[in-house]
């Protein structure tokens, strides 16, 4: 089951600290025949994370992307940046349960992964869970509806 619109690509981006993780996730998405738009970065050269977080968040905000994946060293920078966009709910996840709860309870539409703090293979597991988990609505919908300023 895919909780997001499969007709739209996944928006993905990272900074230099998340580059290797992003490359692994691109291979994972391709292996599952899930289309994506790679907003970079495209090397391990030092870059500024907002330059990649904003385009991913804009794609999610505009509806051009089904959901987003952002990766940096701690995930804090990309999450803070993405959450400046209206309608974006970017959640930092470093464990499978957090990826599930971000969707179930918060209707998160961007998963932010801390590349320096996860084990090999965890990003793929979390993205799978994030993609497959539906928002529960109900009491959570009331809370999510209060987020926007």
Check: CB of residue 86 under 8 Å from CB of residue 63: no
DSSP for 59-124? HHHHTSSS-EEEEESSSHHHHHHHTTSTT--EEE-SSHHHHHHHHHHH--SEEEEEGGGS-TTHHH
16 catalytic? Reply is: no
72 is catalytic: yes
Catalytic position from the list 14, 21, 72, 93: 72
**Three-class SS of residue 28?**
helix
Q: Which residue's entry shows tokens 């920078």? A: 77
Catalytic residue positions, numbered: 72, 105
């Amino acid at each position: 089951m895919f909780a997001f619109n499969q007709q739209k690509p996944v928006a993905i981006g990272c900074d230099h600290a998340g580059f290797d993780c992003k490359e692994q996730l691109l291979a994972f998405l391709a292996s599952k025949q899930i289309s994506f738009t790679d907003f970079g970065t495209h090397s391990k050269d030092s870059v500024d994370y907002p330059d990649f977080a904003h385009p991913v968040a804009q794609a999610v905000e505009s509806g051009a992307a089904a959901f987003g994946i952002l990766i940096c060293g701690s995930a804090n920078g990309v999450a803070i940046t993405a959450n400046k966009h209206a309608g974006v709910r970017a959640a930092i996840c470093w464990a499978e349960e957090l990826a599930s709860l971000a969707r179930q309870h918060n209707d998160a539409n961007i998963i932010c992964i801390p590349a320096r703090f996860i084990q090999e293979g965890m990003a793929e597991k979390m993205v799978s869970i994030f993609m497959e988990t539906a928002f529960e609505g109900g009491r959570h919908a009331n809370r999510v509806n209060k987020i926007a300023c």
